[in-house]
Structure 1
Amino acid sequence: MVKKVLIVLGIVIVGLIVLSVILTSLGGVRQKAYIETPFAPLNTEKQAGEVEQITPEGTSRLVIRTGTIHMVVKDIGVSVKSIIQYAENKGGWVVSSGVTEREEIPSGSIAVRVPAEIFDEAMAYFKGLAEKVSYEGTQGQDVTEEYTDLQSRLRNLEATESQLLKIMERSGTIPDVLAVQRELTTVRSQIEQTKGRIQYLERSAEMSTISINLALSEELLPIPSAEKWRPVYIIKRAWSSLLGSLRGISYFLIWIGIYAIIWVPLGIIVWQVRKFWKRRKEIKKI
């Protein structure tokens, strides 16, 4: 009896391993290169508040430009490498990059920053890598007003800081000095926050962000808000989800099978002990 149980258990374990391998080959997922670098250091000596030449009243504006492209390509990996190489050669960098190969629905996405003055050139180059562009969008956020307000706020805060320093020099008592010191700390904190925001706007305006989604078929690209009906895309997603569920179940059963090395012998021992005591009771009754 024990021998038969062990043989059946061995067959079950082997079968589960084979099933797991098959499901993995059908629905395996490979993740490639993920990078996240929101901002790279800029090679500039410009300090916060020293860019009046960008936004003097009545002249140019400070605009943050962003772009989005959904496109069909022949090879996702090759296209991603070309995008990265172009961005880096132009003085930009990669913000994020991810390529997923899941059975028959590989996809990829990448976001890069490029100098704002070559934004249109970069968009044209990236679209040139595609067999078909299903969506293209650009957006410009005018932050001139906020930037001007921040510069004014910074000048006022620095003037306040200067006045507080003079007051501190004239303060005689310790409580007065401590009160001025607390106010000075608050003002300096506000100065640092304002400078940080100014630098963020400067960097964002100098380096535009372009986000690109890539796929081997238009059906696999993100669905535009105006087009929600893609049955083939949904079927492939559902099939992928089913394979993932079956793969998870097979892994669970394999765990149970492996741990059977422990619980099956224990179960047999318990069963034999119970059988022994049952027979003993029957003999006593006789």
Structure 2
Amino acid sequence: MTNLIKKNWLIILVIIFAIGYVNRKNTEQNTILPMTGGGIVADSVVSDKMLIRREVAPSESTNRLVIQDTSLSLQVDNVESKIKEIESKTTEMGGFLINSNLSKPNGVGSGTISVRIPEGKRDEAMELFKVMAVKVVSENVSGTDVTDQYTDLQAQLEVLQKTKVKFEEILDKAYTVNDLMNVQQQLISLQQQINSVKGQQKYFEQSAKLSKITIYLSTDDLALPYAPTNEWRPAVVFKEAVRSLINNIRGLGNILIWVVVFSPLWIPAIFVIRFAKKKLAI
């Protein structure tokens, strides 16, 4: 058996990897993505709308409308309990949960939670979340000024409302059924546009009042996103080297398991190939 494997090791590897590749492709095709929570979908849909909006000249308004987005990367002792604690503190401060997830790849607990906090309590919330951590790995605060977009929407709304008033006056003077139907269709279309503009305005207003905070949590700081620096960190390099060694050992173990499991396939295949070679030699 040992000699058989030594002589035909290349054929064995080719067969194993071919079978593994086919199985992996089948698994990917049969995988169904989970549906996303309502909060995420709502934010994503509005974000898409924001991307296709037209650009406008900067306004001179002194009352700027700014949407704050904050992210924290925290090393904690227990990811699951901290996620629950963050959600609880968020509710106490008048905010709400957008989404959260928890996973334990390679035995390292990690998770993400996104919340919305009243803008006036954002600094207080940030300090509370930092206190929960063993180590604050990184912090990022960004603001998006949507004053110009909001002003543009207000101008669109005024035009639509004036146009609607004109069509209402025309409706009062319409006599034929065809005229009535045409004017009513225009009024319905205008009202839908007005509702859409008001919805976008409301989104901007609520987003400015409620800051979004995304917290990345892990028991291992290497699993957290952070801004890389040129500073040499021997401890980080050592951890990465150890993790790479463990992954390589696991990979070798996985290959051996595959070889054993699929032996009923590759052993007969080797005998067939050798038999065919002998026939050709004769």
**TM-score grouping bracket, smaller chain normalisation:** 0.5 to 0.7
1:275 alignment counterpart: none
Structure 1 distance, partners of 2:255, 2:206, is 45
Task: Say whether the 8 Å CA contact 1:220–1:233 is kept in structure 2.
Answer: no
1:38 alignment counterpart: 39
Deviation sequence 1:210-266 (CA, Å, 0-9, x none):
011112232221242547996534763784597589679969988x99xx9xxxxxx
In terms of mean alpha carbon deviation, does 85-94 or 231-240 score higher?
231-240
Residue 68 (structure 1) shift: 0.6
Structure 2 distance, partners of 1:180, 1:114, is 45
Amino acid at match of 1:154: L
Amino acid at match of 2:82: S
Distance 1:181 1:37, change over 3 A: closer
Q: Which residue, out of 132, 148, 151, partners 2:151? A: 148
Write the mapping of 1:96-115 to structure 2, written as runs, cut at 5 A.
96-115=99-118
2:68 alignment counterpart: 65
1:123 alignment counterpart: 126
Task: Say whether the 8 Å CA contact 1:70–1:213 is kept in structure 2.
Answer: yes
Task: Say whether the 8 Å CA contact 2:72–2:138 is kept in structure 1.
Answer: yes
Q: Which residue, out of 222, 236, 252, partners 2:243? A: 236
Write the mapping of 1:186-265 to structure 2, written as runs, cut at 5 A.
186-226=189-229, 232-233=239-240, 236=243, 239=246, 243=250
Task: Say whether the 8 Å CA contact 1:105–1:236 is kept in structure 2.
Answer: no
Unaligned runs of 5+ in 2: 1-34, 41-59, 265-282
Task: Say whether the 8 Å CA contact 1:35–1:96 is kept in structure 2.
Answer: no
The percent of aligned pairs where both chains have the same amino acid is 30
Distance 1:250 1:233, change over 3 A: same
Residue 72 (structure 1) shift: 1.3
Structure 2 distance, partners of 1:109, 1:248, is 33
CA RMSD of aligned residues (A): 3.6
Task: Say whether the 8 Å CA contact 2:97–2:115 is kept in structure 1.
Answer: yes
Amino acid at match of 2:193: Q
